[in-house]
Amino acid sequence: MIHTRLKRVLMSAYNYQEIFKVLFSNNENNRYQYEKVEYPAKIAAENISKGKIVAWFQGGLEFGPRALGNRSILADPRNLQMKDLLNQRVKFREGFRPFAPSVLEEHTNEYFQPHVFSPFMSIVSDVILEKREQIPAVTHVDGTARVQTINYDQNPIYYQLIKEFYLLTGIPMVLNTSLNINGMPICCSPEDALNCLLVSGIDCLIIGNYYVWKIDKQMDE
């Protein structure tokens, strides 16, 4: 019989009251601050564009081998150093391990060949040669990337985040990896996500409509 908590996590998302309760009750040492925001996708995109590493926790838990935009760590694909930063400070794993791009479906053919529909991040494509310098953090040493294509119907808020990043930077994708650290399962609950923020080099957490940042990691004004 499935444990009650596990069953609940697998079946449904967390509402804002449940998220607030976790944020309020776990801050006895004042390690972080939080606020409710109207446009979480925009806040996330702004942070990513400034070089921040963002934990992104939205909707229900995903099932499968990849994080597809509900339990993800997101970063700027333009940053040459980002792969090393993520492996050293967040994932705590070998430096050669690659990261994947989540790209707006309508822009896929501008960066990747063959141009494929790949919503489950299961297909490897070549990064077009002249685009590789633009997105070094998601281009593997052999010039390939394991692409995830995103459209609005598939995941509206995640699509909106990438669209906001595109409007800020001209790059229609973000780096996407699973919301966990080495040796731990993907974050299921708000408690898991908050702990992941606090024990790693993640700069901030966008969870539901709450923006959470460590005291010394506040978004630049």
Per-residue pLDDT of the chain (221 residues; tens, 9 = 90+): 344 444 444 446 899 999 999 999 999 889 999 999 999 999 999 999 999 999 999 999 887 778 999 999 999 999 999 999 998 888 887 756 789 999 999 999 999 999 889 999 999 999 999 999 999 999 999 999 999 999 999 999 999 999 999 999 999 999 999 999 888 889 999 999 999 999 999 999 999 999 999 987 444 44
Find out whether 165 and 103 touch, Cβ atoms under 8 Å: no
Spatial neighbors of 5 by CB under 8 A, at least 6 apart, are 189
What does the alpha-carbon distance between residue 53 and residue 82 come to, in Å, rounded to a whole number? 9
Token pair listed for 108: 């896929």
Say what the pLDDT of residue 96 is. 60
Question: Which letter, b or e, does each residue of 190-215 get, where b requires 16 or more Cβ atoms within 10 Å of its Cβ?
Answer: bebbbebbeebbbbbbbbbbbbbbbe
Token pair listed for 134: 């633009």
Q: What domain count does the chain have?
A: 1
What does the alpha-carbon distance between residue 81 and residue 192 come to, in Å, rounded to a whole number? 27
The residue type of 113 is Q
- Classify residue 41 as exposed, middle or buried by CB count within 10 Å of its CB (0-12, 13-18, 19+): buried
pTM assigned to the model: 0.91
Range of the domain at 134: 4-217
Domain of residue 117, CATH code: 3.90.870.20
